[in-house]
Structure 1
């Protein structure tokens, strides 16, 4: 946590009271989101998100596995998060382990929900084969609002992921199933992430609340609520950060804001994904020629 002097904290809090933040934004204004897709070699999908001084890189790799006995017709997804020591001094040594565990635990809860992510789409042959996704997350820079940024990058990378189309055949002599890959490398499918959630952090500072807090603003926050929101504005779960208390009126206001801003954030990401995907497809067409 960034330590600020009393004068700096007072300046930030008084500005927020007047709906003017230290970078000129209003309290409910998000910073510009920069997105780049398909930028990591040897991965089936990748994305890099930058929100001012916060930068996240995500790579997705796939593997064919035997399904879990309790979910024989489903695939699975695993998350790994690493905090670069260069991202923030607090990550040196084992400083990033707690944050890493906190974020990955939240991602597991989100993507384990059938309302958000249908793991049956990763199934290949019941009881025999399924796809397993390995989502590797790297925090390159930490400039605040890390939960939101990670969720944006994960959804973007999964959107960019291309999985080979396979055919299941049976060896009658051995009475075993086996996988056969297509000879056409373009035979692949994309993961449906249309209903995958995004995280939206709303921070209470003084008597007001803000979104997309920078590091300095996070240092002034007494408590925050993280909302997991799907595109229609429904909230899947809520997590509290910080030791401060929130009164019922504040919580109600934050929930109302979260639903409206969450929908806008999904629309914003969709626009970025569509624009980047079109550019990628153009580049692939050029290579094919």
Structure 2
């Protein structure tokens, strides 16, 4: 595990108590974020995002699948998170599996709670066919706060995901689907409800946003909140024990902070899309 000495932790906590951090940020400030979209030509949508020292690659593939018996769902989303062993010595063997499972579970829960996609717009044949989104996430480098980084990168990848147009014909109760293979005959997803996590670490009596690896190791708890473009909360994910007063204090700043972050992220995505 990443280790922090007593002297380092003491210095870190003293700085935070004075309203600053060892890397010069304010308590509620993100590290630099850079994003590229359309980086995987074979994917329906993709992105590569760097948040401080944390870097992730996301690819989305879209296909038409059969609906399970007695199900009426129009959309299935499957997340796979893989932490590269070269990213950090901690992400090897069982440790990597545990982290991957935890990150995957948080994403799946947030997307289910947010009701992200317009199911009427994406409806095929209820009870017969559905859209399947396979989201593959690779953590390339780790510098803390992986959950926020992969949620941002996933939102960015979905923002460029193209949905092929499908034509449906029915003959005596038998449905046939024809997918238009014209690359220009596609529609983009509407992703304003796609959740993005904001993670706060509790150090001493203060919360800090976007904790570094050093801060995560020194924290006595973490609190992650998934928000949409409006800053509305769709899901809460807590690591460690935080009391009700601490959570209440934190939630008062989440809406404004989340909206500012997503405005910044979506602006970066738009600029990168226009330059490719």
Q: Which of 223, 229, 234 in structure 2 is aligned with 1:236?
A: 234
Contact kept, 8 Å, 1:56 with 1:140, in 2: the verdict is yes
Partners of 2:133 and 2:42 in 1: CA distance? 14
Is 1:170 aligned to 2:162, yes or no? no
Residue 272 of structure 1: aligned partner: 268
Secondary structure of 2:262's aligned partner: helix
Q: Deviations over 1:194-236 (max 9, x none)?
A: 1111111111001111001111111110001111112222222
Q: After the TM superposition, which residues 111-190 of structure 1 pair with which residues of structure 2 at under 5 Å, given as runs? A: 111-113=111-113, 115-171=115-171, 175-182=173-180, 184-190=182-188
From the superposition, tell whether residues 140 and 183 of structure 1 become closer, same or farther in structure 2 (CA, over 3 Å).
closer
Partners of 2:6 and 2:160 in 1: CA distance? 45
Residue 211 of structure 2: aligned partner: 213
Deviation at 1:156, TM superposition (A): 0.7
Instruction: Let me know the Cα RMSD of the aligned residues.
Output: 1.7
Partners of 1:139 and 1:183 in 2: CA distance? 32
Residue 38 of structure 2: aligned partner: 38
Partners of 1:34 and 1:52 in 2: CA distance? 9
**TM-score of the aligned structures, taking structure 2 as reference length:** 0.94
Secondary structure of 1:260's aligned partner: helix
Q: Which of 244, 249, 254 in structure 1 is aligned with 2:245?
A: 249
Q: Deviations over 1:228-262 (max 9, x none)?
A: 112222222212113xx434332222111222211
Residue 16 of structure 2: aligned partner: 16
Contact kept, 8 Å, 1:75 with 1:120, in 2: the verdict is no
Structure 1 unaligned segments of length 5 or more: list them: 281-289
Contact kept, 8 Å, 1:201 with 1:224, in 2: the verdict is yes
From the superposition, tell whether residues 119 and 161 of structure 1 become closer, same or farther in structure 2 (CA, over 3 Å).
same
Give runs of ≥4 in structure 1 deviating > 4 Å. none
Q: After the TM superposition, which residues 191-230 of structure 1 pair with which residues of structure 2 at under 5 Å, given as runs? A: 191-230=189-228
Structure 2 unaligned segments of length 5 or more: list them: none
Contact kept, 8 Å, 1:74 with 1:121, in 2: the verdict is no
Partners of 1:150 and 1:70 in 2: CA distance? 33
Residue 256 of structure 2: aligned partner: 260
Partners of 2:25 and 2:193 in 1: CA distance? 29
Deviation at 1:72, TM superposition (A): 2.3
More deviation in 163-172 or 100-109?
A: 163-172
Partners of 1:198 and 1:272 in 2: CA distance? 15
Contact kept, 8 Å, 2:203 with 2:220, in 1: the verdict is yes
Residue 90 of structure 1: aligned partner: 90
Contact kept, 8 Å, 1:75 with 1:121, in 2: the verdict is no
Partners of 1:90 and 1:139 in 2: CA distance? 13
Partners of 2:129 and 2:115 in 1: CA distance? 23
The size of the alignment, in residue pairs, is 276
Contact kept, 8 Å, 1:46 with 1:157, in 2: the verdict is yes
Secondary structure of 1:96's aligned partner: helix
